[in-house]
Amino acid sequence: MSDTDKPALTKAPQMYVHYCEEEGCEEWGGLGRSATKDEPPRWWCWEHFPEHYKGGWAANSR
């Protein structure tokens, strides 16, 4: 007997593939952001990730 109410998986989970949203860029979008939980996230590579979201990361990456 299980101690959770979740049903067992009937198929393997699918990987969500997301690339950078910058037009012409084909890099992996490893950095995602959503303003609210109701809005789907937008994805960027590090080079195109908006500066105002980088915060202190940009200074530490050099």
Question: Is it the case that residue 55 has pLDDT exceeding 70?
Answer: no
Using CA atoms in the order 61, 52, 17, 47, what is the torsion angle rounded to 10 degrees? Answer: -50
Percent of the chain exceeding pLDDT 70 equals: 81
pLDDT digits (tens, 9 = 90+) for 26-49: 999 988 888 898 998 899 999 998
The model's pTM is 0.57
Task: Report the C-alpha gap between 11 and 45 in whole angstroms.
Answer: 30
Task: Report the C-alpha gap between 32 and 13 in whole angstroms.
Answer: 20
The pLDDT score that the predictor gives to residue 57 is: 54
Q: By the 8 A CB rule, do 46 and 53 touch?
A: no
Q: By the 8 A CB rule, do 45 and 20 touch?
A: yes
